[in-house]
Amino acid sequence: MTIVVTGATGQLGHLVVEALLRRGADPADVVATGRDLTKVADLAARGVRTVAADYADPESLRAAFEGADRVLLVSGSEVGQRLPQHTNVVAAAKAAGVGLLAYTSIANAETSGVQLAAEHVATEQVIRDSGLPWVFLRNSWYLENYTPQVPTYLEHGAVLGAAADGRISAATRADYADAAAAVLLDAEATGGTVHELGAAPPSPSPTWPPPSPRPPGPRSPTATSPRPS
Ligand SMILES: NC(=O)c1ccc[n+]([C@@H]2O[C@H](COP(=O)([O-])OP(=O)(O)OC[C@H]3O[C@@H](n4cnc5c(N)ncnc54)[C@H](OP(=O)(O)O)[C@@H]3O)[C@@H](O)[C@H]2O)c1
């Protein structure tokens, strides 16, 4: 079974290829695509086939998907361009007659208030309309969105954000990549499945942080401190 991973020159896609190999895929059955193949030279050295493909270049996609049984479309990084680019990928997958198209979408796509969700929802619709068997991997936030700022958090003693009462569920890229690899290698994965890989939105939305059991203010040492015995 030939599995093509797009965006393999990026962080998530590269981890997906590594996870496929770790889970036992034959490197000769894995195709890693992206625009700059120098970024996947390490995978080529392990026996993975690397093929240049640009989401904006339908011909390159058609060539990359030739003989593919399964394709993972890693969502592109050029916000605003992604719907036409992803549409090209879906058309190429359709032309190649792939048996399963997996797509890395966004958590709770239909109800998400995140502006970036619109391109994911539209891409999901293009995929549904294509008639191809599909799986949506609705990845939530990457933990790595936070980790570069850990020194700043430590310096100020606070994690500052603009999410107000919004709640976050996050996992590492490696965990999302492993989930994608598991789906791509699952012989039972026949399509029509949405994997929500973040927590479901709370309903009704709870107050966070929870109300304090006591009013804020100086604490009485006699009330809270254990008496020396
Ligand atoms: N869940 C989250 O927190 C979160 C955060 C950021 C992004 N994302 C989404 O998840 C995707 C993967 O994340 P990541 O961390 O792996 O991002 P990344 O490291 O920036 O990788 C993006 C990948 O998309 C490829 N790509 C972009 N435009 C392309 C095009 N026109 N043709 C072919 N390939 C193209 C890039 O290829 P090149 O190497 O050729 O540029 C690269 O391989 C992102 O692209 C974005 O859609 C999610």
Buried b (16+ CB within 10 A) or exposed e, 45-75: eeebbbbebbbebbebbbebbeebebbbbbb
Mean pLDDT calculated for residue range 18-35: 98
Pocket of ligand 1 (CB under 6 A): 7, 9-13, 34-36, 39, 54-56, 74-78, 85, 104, 139, 141-142, 145
Q: What pLDDT is attached to residue 200? A: 75
| Confidence band for 207, pLDDT divided at 50, 70 and 90 | low
Inform me whether the pLDDT recorded for 205 exceeds 80.
no
Rounded distance from Cα 75 to ligand 1 centre (Å): 6
Whether the per-residue pLDDT at 208 is higher than 90: the answer is: no
| Ligand 1 nearest-atom number relative to CA 106 | 1
Q: What angle do CA 60, 66, 71 make, to 5 degrees?
A: 90
Is 212 or 38 the better-scoring residue by pLDDT? Answer: 38
Spacing, Cα 104 to ligand 1 middle (Å): 10
Question: 137 CA distance to ligand 1 centroid (A)?
Answer: 15
Ligand 1 pocket mutation, candidates 77, 108, 114, 137, criterion most atoms within 8 A of CB? 77
* pLDDT tens-digit map of 74-125: 999 999 999 999 999 999 999 999 999 999 999 999 998 889 999 999 999 9
